[in-house]
Amino acid sequence: MSVRSFDPSSMPTVAMVGGGQLARMTHQAAIALGQRLRVLAADLDDPAAQVTPDVVLGSHTDLAALRKVAIGSHALTFDHEHVPTEHLEALVAEGVNVQPPPQALVYAQDKLAMRRRLSELGVPVPAFAPVATVADAVAFGVEHEWRVVLKAVRGGYDGRGVWMPESEEVAAAIVKEQLEQGVSLLVEAKVDLRRELSAMVARSPFGQAATWPVVETVQRAGQCAVVIAPAPELSDDLATEAETLALNLARELGAVGAMAVELFETRDGALLVNELAMRPHNSGHWGMDGARTGQFEQHVRAVLDYPLGSTEPLAPVVVMANILGAPSAPEMSMDERLHHLFARLPEAKVHLYGKGERKDRKIGHVNVLGADVAVVREQAERAAHWMSHAIWTDGWDPHE
Ligand SMILES: Nc1ncnc2c1ncn2[C@@H]1O[C@H](COP(=O)(O)OP(=O)(O)OP(=O)(O)O)[C@@H](O)[C@H]1O
Ligand SMILES: [Mg+2]
């Protein structure tokens, strides 16, 4: 019988709530640090549960399951923001090292609490109001000439929980339906945006913080499709403003780990905060190949209070394109698509999440590094589209 000579328990254990792709890629980073990630997953088939031997099966709304994954861990952290705040407070009271702490995480969970707190801090956000009745939404809609956005206060992601009604009738129907289902709502002004940016930062409990370059995020159908690092043609002043904002917010709110500040750049060159994510975020995936320290390693380092790594970019331009499920999965297998992609674009770095192909589902991403934004973006998008659809957007035929 052979005996393992390395005792994994001599290294810290990070427990992550949620078994999605963010946990899977955090696990990948933990491996390099001599650790494994323990995950709370709903299903053994979840992306992270497929790859870590340390899985607790259960729901993130079940305090007993949360306790089970937390006990013995050095830090408990998240791949999504849907854990009830009161459960996290209970865990903290029991001595669990919850990072980010619940009093910080709430600003990534509750969009109304976030809008209020940021307004108090003097951080620019779109005009907003809570919606307790149809009349609240209508009054705001009339005031803003129906350039408004309704949002679920909690639980939204990838554009689910976001509505853009353009009339009183449509708004009233949405509000009525959502309130009846027990969904709390807010309404805010629809921003006339030039584009969307993301400022990412990581912060440790000790208070060390490091930003990555500010990126441009391109959304399609309310969902992130492409990220360009750094954001093209962003003035030094605006880049500094965005990074400073992210650093200040991380400190003021007591965030720990990776945090994304989703920003709107308005047509007149101002920045408004859209929302916060206190975890690794889609806008940081480029850094897995494109930065000295990517967000997943940095998140683990931060929640364990290690010194943070250099966030220096490794190329003048890095583009990340999400591989989104096609309306129906192509006949060609994923494996065969990968062969063809590698044959055609050896520079493409591919990350697949082990997820089934469903329309618009994030099933992987491609990173390409280079020097020219247009060239790099075209390559990354062409590669991602190929992986989704088994079609080359430039008409190239692998069998010719
Ligand atoms: N006030 C606004 N004005 C203009 N566009 C907006 C506004 N709020 C949201 N959007 C658009 O809708 C998208 C999704 O909104 P938001 O980020 O609040 O939702 P989410 O579903 O929680 O986010 P995520 O896609 O990051 O999970 C934004 O990225 C933006 O494109
Ligand atoms: Mg968002």
Q: One digit per residue, pLDDT tens: the chain, 400 residues?
A: 566 676 767 899 999 999 999 999 999 999 999 999 999 999 999 999 999 999 999 999 999 999 999 999 999 999 999 999 999 999 999 999 999 999 999 999 999 999 999 999 999 999 999 999 999 999 999 999 999 999 999 988 777 899 999 999 999 999 999 999 999 999 999 999 999 999 999 999 999 999 999 999 999 988 999 999 999 999 999 999 999 999 999 999 999 999 999 999 999 999 999 999 999 999 999 999 999 999 999 999 999 999 999 999 999 999 999 999 999 999 999 999 999 999 999 999 999 999 999 999 999 999 999 999 999 999 999 999 999 999 999 988 877 6
pLDDT of residue 305: 98
Q: How far is CA 60 from the centre of its chain?
A: 18
pLDDT of residue 1: 55
CATH architecture of residue range(s) 193-389? 2-Layer Sandwich (3.30)
Among residues 99, 126, 100, the alpha carbon closest in space to that of 111 is found at 126
* Ranges of H-type helices in 94-235: 102-109, 111-120, 134-143, 168-180
pLDDT of residue 157: 79
Classify strands 148-152 and 162-163 as parallel, antiparallel or unpaired: antiparallel
pLDDT of residue 397: 84
Q: Which residues surround ligand 2, an ion (CB under 5 A)?
A: 262, 275
> Which residues have C-beta atoms less than 6 Å from ligand 1?
126, 149, 151, 156-162, 188, 190-191, 193, 196, 219, 222-223, 262, 274-275
Binding-site residues, in ranges, read: 111, 151, 188-191, 196, 274-275
Q: What are the beta bridge partners of residue 130?
A: 186
Whether the full predicted model's pTM is greater than 0.85, yes or no, is yes
Residue whose pair of structure tokens reads 């669990």 in the numeric block: 96
CATH architecture of residue range(s) 13-98? 3-Layer(aba) Sandwich (3.40)
CB-CB contact of 193 with 263 (8 Å): no
What would the two tokens of residue 51 be?
């790859």
**Best residue for ligand 1 mutational test, from 186, 215, 274 (most atoms within 8 Å of Cβ):** 274
Which ligand is nearest the CA of 224, by number?
1
pLDDT of residue 87: 98
Q: How far is the CA of 189 from the centre of ligand 1 (A)?
A: 12
Annotated domain spans of the chain: 13-98, 127-189, 193-389
Considering the domain 127-189 in this protein, what is its CATH number?
Answer: 3.30.1490.20
Ligand 1 atom with the smallest distance to the CA of 159 is: 21
Ligand 1 atom with the smallest distance to the CA of 217 is: 29
Among residues 121, 195, 126, the alpha carbon closest in space to that of 162 is found at 126
For 173, counting Cβ atoms within 10 Å of its Cβ (0-12 exposed, 13-18 middle, 19+ buried), the class is middle
Among residues 140, 180, 178, the alpha carbon closest in space to that of 160 is found at 178
Among residues 209, 270, 267, the alpha carbon closest in space to that of 243 is found at 209
CA-CA distance, 153 to 174, in Å (whole number)?
A: 14
